[in-house]
Amino acid sequence: MKSLLSTALWRLSGEFTDPYTGVDYNVGFSVDHYDLELVYRVEPNLLSGVAHLHISVTEDLDKLTLDLGGAMAVRRISANQHIKITRFRQSGGKIRITFDEVIEAGTEFALTVRYGGNPRPIRTTWGEIGWEETESGALVASQPNGAPSWFPCDDTPSEKATYDIRVTADDPFTVISNGTLVSKKRRNSATEWHYKVKSPMATYLATMQIGEFTQFKLGRNTTAWAPGHLRARVLEEFKQQQEMLDFYESLFGEYPFPDYQVVITEDELEIPLEAQGLSIFGSNHIAGNHRFERLIAHELAHQWFGNSVGISEWKDIWLNEGFACYCEWLWVEHKGTDSAHSVARSHYLVLSRKAQNLHLADPGAHDMFDDRVYKRGAITIHALRRLLGDEAFFDAVRNYLHAGRNGTVMPKDFFGHIDDAALKAGVSLDEVAELFDVWLNHKQLPKFPA
């Protein structure tokens, strides 16, 4: 569970603050389920919410904290199970709640937070992240710590929970969120959209896309949402989306969620945005010439690497981004355009001309989204494939994904599956250990894998 893990991590490190986001951990409890009831008025950008958090207490506590951005003002907090709240206050991106007596470990209760305001992104090391107004609605992109811009939560990657997300928005706006749409109800001049997320999800992957969208079916379990006038470009740009998903299934096992959706906004976006079960692209990413096909492949791959199997700490982001980047090369190889080995060599040559000051195993907050993390991570994975051979390598990856499905992992979990595959393939564990060491723990770029 997240809270036990987070508590152990900060006690071992002596730090109470996430070294990447700079946000204090919320310890002593775990949020198992979020039930969000939201009303969003598009034109004034006004959000009103009632958040029901189903909490499991993991340590005796008489107070707890949650993450919530300053633009969202808390109006009232209550709890069930005869638990009384003495006081609460909101400051510094935190809700600080004090109870009238100690709540014992093992207790489960529901905490209800009523709040509202004009949502806006949260300022972070990586720019403004979270809820953002668009020309005709809103979008949410929260990696790594933007979720508190729109709901109270325990915002850390090692925390996963299930969700019910109910959003009432003005007509004619469409609301797209994670999970499965279970109901859609007209309420005068507005519509309530209810999404249910059954696969545990990290808070940074929760999203909201509100706009005037038309739905386009792409394949058996793939769909696109976009402004109607972009139809031709969308269908051209994403015509291989289903084939891409089927190909990844052949390599990595069953797609981990009920379906996969892509949302194309009217606005232009700097980069595509990742969420669980869906990805968001700007209108500039669908020129109709497949220029951004690698990004389409990249975002889909994250559904396995990062979303279904998540990381516990941000320092291990190479596991997410390295695999997603490598999947771009596997797709190119599958199409017969080029080999993954050739693509890896090209990127290796580019990396060799860049600064050799990146520690892949712990790149630091400022460099966690550096392109060197993506490319060096991908070449590390390619080096493993070359060492083990295709059969052993892909068996190890499938076993890793199966064991970690719907949970969070650390690099040692991946290493264990690689070691198992190496033993079966007759590859020395010393060679495997050396490979990981030179690529992850040393800044100097190792030799390209033969």
As a whole number, mean pLDDT of residues 98-115 equals 97
Shared-domain flag, residues 70 and 93: yes
Count of other CB atoms within 10 angstroms of residue 429: 11
- What distance lies between CA 416 and its chain's CA centroid? 24
The answer to whether position 284 is within a domain reads: yes
- Residue 226, pLDDT > 80, answer yes
Look at the block and give the residue holding tokens 């002596």: 14
Distances (CA, A) of 8 to 2, 12, 210, 317: 10, 6, 39, 20
Shared-domain flag, residues 32 and 127: yes
**CATH code of the domain covering residue 259:** 3.30.2010.30
- Residue 105, pLDDT > 70, answer yes
The answer to whether position 448 is within a domain reads: no
> Do 173 and 35 touch, CB atoms closer than 8 A?
no
Count of other CB atoms within 10 angstroms of residue 268: 11
Look at the block and give the residue holding tokens 């014992």: 104
Question: What is the chain's mean pLDDT, rounded?
Answer: 96
The answer to whether position 179 is within a domain reads: yes
As a whole number, mean pLDDT of residues 380-404 equals 98
Shared-domain flag, residues 153 and 220: no
Count of other CB atoms within 10 angstroms of residue 127: 10
Shared-domain flag, residues 127 and 245: no
The answer to whether position 450 is within a domain reads: no
The answer to whether position 288 is within a domain reads: yes
User: What's the one-letter identity of residue 58?
Assistant: T
Rounded-to-10 torsion of CA 300, 193, 216, 225:
-60
Shared-domain flag, residues 281 and 372: no
| pLDDT at res. 412 | 98
> Do 169 and 175 touch, CB atoms closer than 8 A?
yes
Q: Of 331, 327, 326, 305, whose CA–CA distance to 317 is shortest? A: 305
Count of other CB atoms within 10 angstroms of residue 216: 18
The answer to whether position 446 is within a domain reads: no
Asked which of 3-12, 15-24, 117-126, 411-420 is least confident by mean pLDDT, the reply is 3-12
> Do 178 and 203 touch, CB atoms closer than 8 A?
no
**CATH code of the domain covering residue 403:** 1.10.390.10
Shared-domain flag, residues 72 and 145: yes
438 burial level (CB within 10 Å; 0-12, 13-18, 19+): middle
The answer to whether position 254 is within a domain reads: yes
> pLDDT tens-digit profile of 274-328?
999 999 999 999 988 899 999 999 999 999 999 999 999 999 999 999 999 999 9
**CATH code of the domain covering residue 78:** 2.60.40.1730
The answer to whether position 49 is within a domain reads: yes
- Residue 14, pLDDT > 60, answer no
Shared-domain flag, residues 171 and 259: no
> Do 263 and 178 touch, CB atoms closer than 8 A?
no
Domain count, the chain: 3
Q: How far apart are CA 164 and CA 238, in angstroms?
A: 29
Shared-domain flag, residues 25 and 152: yes
389 pLDDT band, cuts 50/70/90, is: very high
Shared-domain flag, residues 30 and 135: yes
Shared-domain flag, residues 21 and 144: yes
Partners of residue 17 on adjacent β-strands? 24
As a whole number, mean pLDDT of residues 225-230 equals 97
81 pLDDT band, cuts 50/70/90, is: confident
| pLDDT at res. 15 | 55
Q: Which residues of 269-300 are buried (b: 16+ CB within 10 A; e: fewer)?
A: beebbbbbbbbbbbbebbeeeeebbbbbbbbb
- Residue 170, pLDDT > 50, answer yes
Partners of residue 96 on adjacent β-strands? 65, 89
Three-state secondary structure string covering the chain: CHHHHHHHHHHHHCCCECCCCCCECCCCEEEEEEEEEEEEECCCCEEEEEEEEEEEECCCEEEEEEECCCCEEEEEEEECCCCCEEEEEEECCEEEEEEEEEECCCCEEEEEEEEEECCCCEEECCEEEEEEEECCEEEEECCCCCHHHCCCECCCCCCEEEEEEEEEEECCCEEEECCEEEEEEEECCEEEEEEEEEEEEEHHHCCEEEECCEEEEEECCEEEEECHHHHHHHHHHCCCHHHHHHHHHHHHCCCCCCCEEEEEECCCCCCCEEECCEEEEEHHHCCCCCCCHHHHHHHHHCCCECCCEEECCHHHHHHHHHHHHHHHHHHHHHHCCCCHHHHHHHHHHHHHCCCCCCCCCCCCHHHCCCHHHHHHHHHHHHHHHHHHCHHHHHHHHHHHHHHHCCEEECHHHHHHHHHHHHHHHCCCHHHHHHHHHHHHHCCCCCCCCC
| pLDDT at res. 10 | 44
Tokens of 60: 């005796």
| pLDDT at res. 3 | 47
- Residue 411, pLDDT > 90, answer yes
Domain that holds residue 414: 309-441
> pLDDT tens-digit profile of 424-450?
999 999 999 999 999 999 999 999 998
| pLDDT at res. 5 | 53
Shared-domain flag, residues 147 and 226: no
Look at the block and give the residue holding tokens 């999404």: 195
Domain limit, last residue, from 202, 226, 246: 202
| pLDDT at res. 37 | 98
Q: How far apart are CA 340 and CA 168, in angstroms?
A: 46
What values do phi and psi take at 378, rounded to 5? -65, -40
Domain limit, last residue, from 269, 303, 337: 303
| pLDDT at res. 11 | 38
Shared-domain flag, residues 191 and 221: no
Domain limit, last residue, from 160, 182, 202: 202
Partners of residue 72 on adjacent β-strands? 117
